[in-house]
Structure 1
């Protein structure tokens, strides 16, 4: 199947953003703004945004399966917006506030790091998947949109839910 002109137009942007966003986050994670006021209030906010994203994704799938196309479109745009808002707050937090170390011991420590690692790796992987899925919908290539959405949805949902889980697991160790 050939890409539509719209898909071709956005393909370079998808590739660029899929590389630039994770690299920028990784670099900015280690950049601290000198004399910046710490933002310790952000983690519960961005964890809540992750939770809202998960709910939006589930409702969006329900909406499209029930023929509510406009609702589905609006929910998906909102979910993308929530993910962008999360990203901005996450970067702001890590550029201004010292990192918190997980203090759990034993098996819970391994569970935490497994969830964290899979969350991070899949959060990188979903960037191109979300963008491709969205562009295919914009291009009205719904056959191709559905195929990739079946992959994108569970991965994005996992990232959103594990974002909340990671926060809940590390929250007791935050220093406010």
Structure 2
């Protein structure tokens, strides 16, 4: 059995791959595969044993070291309860944005009197929320020639619409104003 393993290793390329493993391709007469040559790093059995021993030593050394947190200053360490509170606050903000998006999505078409296409922006303001939506003002064939209107909708903190205005119009296929 060991003789078969030795034969297989002799038939296998001697080069190391980028991740440090031995190349699995079959070797040609020079001991390398079609992709490797003498300039590539190689491994022989004694080098493989040395590499394993070094890896074991490094693992033992890292176990004996102090944890990275021991090297931190008090300011760098974070209280887990503070992190959890921040995550909860982030979830509430996301829920608020999602609720505003749904309100805008469900009312924009009726409010503006055109076919709703997309919500392109939602941002908090001092008085509530500002949303920018896109509506189809005129259908065309092909659809890249549709005329799209961008509208700003103002909402209060409760999601009640207080007004809207058209910002601009463009052809669906026209990206020149967005590429700058």
Question: Which structure has the higher relative contact order (CA within 8 Å, separation 6+)?
Answer: 1
Structure richer in strand, relative to its length: 2
Structure richer in helix, relative to its length: 1
Which category of TM-score, normalised to the shorter sequence, fits these structures? under 0.3
TM-score (norm 2): 0.23
